[in-house]
Structure 1
Amino acid sequence: MTSRTAIVTGAARGIGAATAKRLARDGHAVAALDLLEDQARATAEQIVADGGRATAVGVDVSDEDSVAAAVERVVSELGAPAILVNNAGILRDNLIFKMSADDWDAVMGVHLRGAFLMTRAAQAHMVAARYGRIVNLSSTSALGNRGQVNYAAAKAGMQGFTKTLAIELGRFGITANAVAPGTIRTAMTEATAERMGITFDQLLEGAAQRIPVGRVGQPEDVAAAVAFFASEDAGFVSGQVLYVAGGPRD
């Protein structure tokens, strides 16, 4: 496998951290980007301790200038990005009649605007190299989920965004795919349990009973799917949405 430079947003913890570490194990140099640069640094330091190359970069993915500066820093420290994983995300859950415009805008800003800004900045380098892998994180919530009208809309938007990127960028040797996780054991899922007024264990136990494989997912399950889309072997796979949910959906 050719070693390339990968950018992973939201890499401070959870799926992002697991993905950054997996791509590093696959031989890539990894830029761990996050609004929380100190926490992203822990991810990068672990990669370096394990013998890989990595750097941590602070970024607000919803801010155009911040994104431009972050990508420039990645290029200077690790080289031009050939792999981009748009994983950064937030929750502002509520029923629609309780949801504020600010909470709607915040979720759209991080998920959709963030993916747009990061992709626009990174694809210029991929086009120049005539090679690239873009992987966007969607969710089973894209199919609809009570209390998540903003998040569901954003994740459904990520799928349309992905398919359009595949059409526009394919002729430059760039693929674009999406991974849509189901219930994954992360801090974000724990926040969902708090919103629902139940314990984290109760949420996970209830979810596991509905999942055909009988368990909830781990961040590493998602990272494995991302790693496939990011690989050279996936060069003829583009515009796809892969549900990583232990069954058709959860």
Structure 2
Amino acid sequence: MSEPSLPDPFGLSGRHVLVTGAGGGIGRAMIEAFARAGAAVSGADRDAALLESLPLQHRLVFDLTDAKACTDAIAGLVAGGGPPDVLVNNAGFTRAETLADVDDAVWDSELAINLTGAFHVTRPVMAAMVARGGGSIVFVASVNGLGHYGNPAYSAAKAGLIAYAKSIAVEAGRDGIRANVVCPGSVRTPAWDHRLAKDPTILEDVVSHYPLGRMVRPEDVANTAVFLASPLAAGVTGAVLPVDGGLTAGNLRFVRDIIERRS
């Protein structure tokens, strides 16, 4: 006999969730997953057009690299809808794929968007959470923050996010704040379109590195974030959870090409 379904298995009904980078592929999956879990979802993006068709309680438009714009937007959200119970720092961007692609401008830009931008949003949100009595913050980093898989500036920023999340977990836990990190592997979103334009077969090569034999789906990342944000993970903080199809568990290509090799 099947178990009876729970009316609110994640404990997120009525909770307010803010997702940055809401207009992107993972952001849209986040909105859907949190809404399905019963939450009221607000979204932030620098492009207002990307938010227009999304089912959001509040739409925030600002550039993450502008500290004042972030602070003002969060202040408006808190005044109009109350502090978020959950913040998902999802926004991110990269195009510099090797060290040869990284110059001063690229380095500054990618750290500003992927690391400093998350700080610009987190600081005012966390202050409101502390004043209210607590909250949950989920950072979307990357396996690039755990090992080198290309994109050096992006990787440095994502490693910084992991360190930042741990500092929040340690120092703000007494204030009721939990902070955790999701580290996706390759996710099939529009971010891959520029690579596919150069080489339409690249996705076939990518999946050969993944033990699950497929790329991570946006909903895989979103569902993990829902768990970490929810009361089901009430005892989890400072955790770094790869959602990577097994990529960081070991080197599948090495096993196939070297260990299983037959002469």
TM-score (norm 2): 0.85
Alignment match, 1:151? 154
- The partner residue of 1:13 within 19, 24, 48 is 24
The residue correspondences of 1:190-201 to structure 2 (distance < 5 A) are 190-194=193-197, 197-199=198-200
- The partner residue of 2:40 within 26, 29, 32 is 29
The alpha-carbon deviation at position 77 of structure 1 amounts to: 3.4
Instruction: Provide the C-alpha distance between the structure 1 equivalents of 2:133 and 2:231, rounded to a whole number of angstroms.
Output: 13
What amino acid does structure 2 have at the position aligned with 1:66? A
Measured at CA, do residues 241 and 114 of structure 1 come closer, stay the same or move farther in structure 2, by a change above 3 Å?
Answer: same
Matched, 1:68 2:71: yes
The alpha-carbon deviation at position 87 of structure 1 amounts to: 0.8
Instruction: Provide the C-alpha distance between the structure 2 equivalents of 1:107 and 1:222, rounded to a whole number of angstroms.
Output: 22
What amino acid does structure 1 have at the position aligned with 2:199? I
- The partner residue of 2:166 within 158, 163, 167 is 163
Instruction: Provide the C-alpha distance between the structure 1 equivalents of 2:215 and 2:167, rounded to a whole number of angstroms.
Output: 31
- Which 5+ residue runs of structure 2 have no aligned equivalent? 1-10, 252-263
Deviations 1:91-115 (A, max 9, x none): 1314323422111111100111111
The alpha-carbon deviation at position 25 of structure 1 amounts to: 1.7
What amino acid does structure 2 have at the position aligned with 1:216? M
Partner SS state of residue 92, structure 2: coil
- Determine which structure has more spread, i.e. the larger CA radius of gyration: 2
RMSD: 1.6
What amino acid does structure 1 have at the position aligned with 2:128? H
Alignment match, 1:50? none
Partner SS state of residue 44, structure 2: strand
The residue correspondences of 1:74-223 to structure 2 (distance < 5 A) are 74-142=77-145, 143-146=147-150, 148-194=151-197, 197-199=198-200, 202-223=201-222
Instruction: Provide the C-alpha distance between the structure 2 equivalents of 1:116 and 1:225, rounded to a whole number of angstroms.
Output: 22
Deviations 1:41-67 (A, max 9, x none): 222xxx2xxxxx522110111111110
What amino acid does structure 1 have at the position aligned with 2:169? A
Partner SS state of residue 144, structure 1: coil
The alpha-carbon deviation at position 26 of structure 1 amounts to: 1.4
Alignment match, 1:247? 246
Partner SS state of residue 206, structure 1: helix
Alignment match, 2:49? 38
In percent, how many aligned pairs have the same letter?
Answer: 36
Give yes or no for contact 1:80–1:125 (8 Å, CA) kept in 2. Answer: yes
Instruction: Provide the C-alpha distance between the structure 1 equivalents of 2:53 and 2:72, rounded to a whole number of angstroms.
Output: 21
